[in-house]
Amino acid sequence: MTSAKPAYTSGTPDTLTNMLRHAVANAGDEVFLDIEGDTLTYAEFDRRSNRMSHALAELGVRKGEPVVSLTETHLDTLGIWFAIVKQGAIWIPINLAYRQEFLRHQIVDTGAKLVICDAAYLDRIVELADKLPSVKRILCRGADAPFPDCAIQIEPFENYRGTNDSPVEVDIKPSDLGAL
């Protein structure tokens, strides 16, 4: 005779931010990320993404708002993702191969007011600026002013790494959209 399997029951609904909080509490000093030798522990990553999240909030990023990113894979990319999600906003990473109409279409469809990009992708956005009606600001990572002339305000991403590493207090539910 075989024993009956227990009925499926779902666990406690969780979010990325809660999972990170749990990991910090249980393994805070262990390496969480290692990208080509650049490392961060769970606790370091949590503090870094908190600082960025508070800085994004100061820019007006709010729960449910889309934020577009065009960045290579580096520690900042993951920090940007979690910073956005900690605000309850929606992280929208765009395919780095997109240019011109493909890129314009993706950005316009999101309705994002903020684009965060690596310096290598800034010119692609600048050339589309007059066709991106919702975008109000570009944060460019890895480049200093002066930036090219643009209809959209461009600022160094480095100015928005933030200083407040206290926990971000936004009510996020598992059903909230966090990425597209």
Give the pLDDT confidence score for residue 145 in this predicted structure: 80
Q: Mean pLDDT throughout 133-146?
A: 94
Check whether 114 has a pLDDT greater than 70.
Answer: yes
pLDDT band at residue 6 under the 50/70/90 scheme: low
Quote the tokens at residue 43.
């606790």
Check whether 8 has a pLDDT greater than 60.
Answer: no
pLDDT band at residue 3 under the 50/70/90 scheme: low
Percent of the chain with pLDDT over 90: 89
Euclidean distance between CA atoms 56 and 146, whole angstroms? 22
Query: At a CB cut-off of 8 Å and minimum separation 6, what does 2 contact?
Result: none
Give the pLDDT confidence score for residue 11 in this predicted structure: 65
Check whether 92 has a pLDDT greater than 90.
Answer: yes
165 φ/ψ angles, rounded to the nearest 5 degrees: -100, 15
